[in-house]
Amino acid sequence: MSRLWRLWKILFVFTKYRLDGLIPLHLLPLSVRILLWLAPWRLRPVPAKLSRGARLRMALEALGPIFIKFGQILSTRPDLVPEDIVQELKLLQDKVPPFPEDEAIALIESQLGDTIANLFAEFSSKPLASASIAQVHTAKLNDGKDVVVKVVRPGIEHTIERDLQLLETMARLAVTYSSEARRLKPLEVVEDYRHTIYGELNLQIEASNATQLRRNFSESGHLYVPEVYWEYTRSKVMTSERIYGIPVANIDELRAQNTDMKLLAERGVEIFFTQVFRDSFFHADMHPGNIFVSRENPQDPEYIGIDCGIVGSLTEEDQHYLAMNLLAFFNQDYYQVAQLHVDSGWVPATTKVHELAAAIRSVCEPIFEKPLAEISFGQVLIQLFSTARRFDMEVQPQLVLLQKTLLNIEGLGRQLYPQLDLWSTAKPFLERWMRERFGPKAAFAELKRQLPTWIEKAPKMPGLVHGALTRLNHMDENQAQLQREIMALRKALEEQNRQKRHLTLGSLVSLSGLALWWQAIALGIPEVLGIGIGAFGLLWILLKA
C-alpha cells in the first residue's frame, strides 16, 4: 500500500509542476505521445510564474533525497541540460529547504548527551547549508576551534526506504517483462544504491571515510580534508573542522584571486585517478557543492573536499582491467579494448572481438585530440550504451559509482577550464601506475610483503606437498565413487518416476471402474463390469508397488 501511495505522490508531483513539458516528445513512440496528449493533467495550466527549471527543482525537492541526488548530478552537466535548468538545479547542492531549528538542536543534544550550551562556546541555530539528507550548523568549541555540526534530517530513513522499495518494485517489473532491462541488472543497481545511501545516513561512517581520505592525502598538498572531532560525533551528528575556501563553482571569484585554472583542472583529474588507482578509495559524491578551493597560494591551488558520505572502491582485478581499458582507449587500440571486455566478463565469452572492436572504434574515434569543451563523455557513454546492446554487454554494478564520479569530474573540468586535455593529463598517470604496479619494484615489494608468511609456512611445506600428492593419487578413486553414486541416484529417480506413472494409471483405472459401477443402470451395462475394472486398477497398484 505504501508503494502505491508513493507512486501516486510521484504522479501527483509530476502533474502539479507539469513536468510533461520537459519531455522531448519527438523521441517517444507514437503510442506514448498520443497517451501524453490525451492525459487528463493537460487540463491543468502550466504554473505561469515558474520557469521550467524552477518547476523541475521544486518537484525534485518535493519528492525527497533520492530525487534531489538525481538533480545534483544533472546540475553538473551543462552539455546535456539547458543552461536555465542547470542554474536552478545548482540550488539543490546546498540550498535545500532546512528542517526546523528546534528539531536540529534536540537531535544534537540527544545524540551527544548534553546541552548545546555545555557542548559549544557558540552555536548558530540558523543552518549554514542544507542538503538532501542533512544540514550543517556553525559552532565554536570550548577551546576556541571553529567547527561545523552536521545533523541528519529527522525521519529521513522512512522516506528513503519507501523510495527504495518503489525502485525495487519497478526494477522487478522491468526484469520480468524486458530482456533489455535484465541486461542492465536493475535489481543489483538498486541494491548497490541502497547500501550506498544507508551508509550516507550514518555519519560515523562518513567521519571514518573523511579520516581515511585525509590520511591518504596528508602529504600531497593537492587535496585537503577537514579534521573530524570524534568526541562530538555520533551516528546522526558529526562535528568537523570549519573551512573557509572558495566554492569551486564560483569561477569569477577564483579568477579574481588569479587562480591557475589550468593547473586546478589538471589536479582535479590527478586527484581522481590517484584515489581510484593508488588508494582504491575515492570520493564518489564530487558535485560542486562538496568541493572548495583554498584561498592560500592561488598559483599552486589546493582542493578542499567535504561530505565523504559516499565513497567507492574497486577490487585489484577491476583496477587492472579499468586501467588497461583506459590505456587501450588512449592508444586507440580498440581490439585490445574489446578483448579486455571479453576477458573481464563484461561481455559474453562468445562475442566476436573484431566486431566489438569495430563498433567501439566507430563511437570513440571522433573524441581523440579534442579539448574537453568539444567532448561530452555523457554523449559518448550514451552511444557506447546503444552500441553495446548488440553484444549483450551488461551493466557492472560495482562500477556504477565510478561512472557517476567520472561524470561529475567531467562537469567540474568543463566549468573550470574548458580547454583541458584530459587525455594528456590522465595517460601519463596511468602509465606510471602500471609501471609501479607490475614493474620490478612492485615485484620486489610483493616479495618483501609475502616473505614472512612463506618463512612461517616453510616447515609445513613437505607435509602439505605429501598431502596434495596423496589426494591426487586418490582422485581417480573418488571420481569413480562419485560416478557410481550419481548412477545409483539416477536409477532411483527413474524407479520413483516409474512407480508414479503406475500409481497414476492404476488410480485412473480404479476411478473409471467406480464411475461405471455408479452409472451402470443409466448406461445400461452390468454393474459387475464396473466393479471388475475398479478391482483390476487396485490390483495393478498393489502389484507395481
pLDDT in tens for each of the 545 residues of the chain?
A: 556 666 777 777 777 877 766 666 655 556 666 666 666 666 667 676 788 888 888 888 888 777 777 777 677 666 567 778 888 887 776 667 788 899 999 999 999 999 999 999 999 999 998 877 889 999 999 999 999 999 998 888 887 887 788 778 877 877 776 665 666 667 776 777 777 778 788 999 999 999 999 999 998 889 999 999 999 999 999 999 999 999 998 999 999 999 999 999 889 888 988 998 889 899 988 878 789 999 998 999 999 999 898 888 888 888 888 888 878 877 888 899 888 888 887 788 888 889 888 988 887 777 766 665 566 665 666 666 666 667 777 666 566 677 777 777 777 877 888 877 777 777 788 888 888 776 666 566 656 666 677 676 667 667 767 666 676 666 666 677 777 778 888 887 777 777 777 676 666 666 666 666 665 555 566 666 666 766 766 666 666 66
> Is there a catalytic annotation at residue 285?
yes
Containing 504, the helix (H) or strand (E) segment is helix 475-518
Task: Please answer whether residues 185 and 394 qualify as being in contact, where contact means their C-beta atoms are separated by less than 8 angstroms.
Answer: yes
Containing 507, the helix (H) or strand (E) segment is helix 475-518
Beta strands in 269-386 (DSSP E): 282-283, 291-293, 303-305, 311-312
SS3 of residue 11 by DSSP: helix
Q: How far is CA 53 from CA 127, 130, 341, 371, in A?
A: 25, 20, 39, 29
The number of beta carbons lying within 10 Å of the beta carbon of residue 184 is 18
User: What is the residue whose three cell numbers read 498393489?
Assistant: 542
For residues 97 and 132, give the distance between their C-alpha atoms in angstroms, rounded to a whole number: 9
User: What is the residue whose three cell numbers read 471388475?
Assistant: 532
The stretches of 344-398 forming alpha helices (DSSP H) are: 353-364, 377-388
Which candidate in 285, 300, 392, 421 is catalytic?
A: 285
SS3 of residue 149 by DSSP: strand
List b or e across 429-442, with b for residues whose CB sees 16 or more CB atoms inside 10 angstroms: bbeebbeeeeeeee
Containing 200, the helix (H) or strand (E) segment is helix 186-201
- SS3 helix, strand, coil % of the chain, rounded to 5? 65, 5, 25
Sign of the dihedral through C-alpha 426, 429, 434, 437: negative
Question: Where does residue 412 rank: exposed (0-12), middle (13-18), buried (19+ CB within 10 A)?
Answer: buried
Task: Please answer whether residues 507 and 476 qualify as being in contact, where contact means their C-beta atoms are separated by less than 8 angstroms.
Answer: no
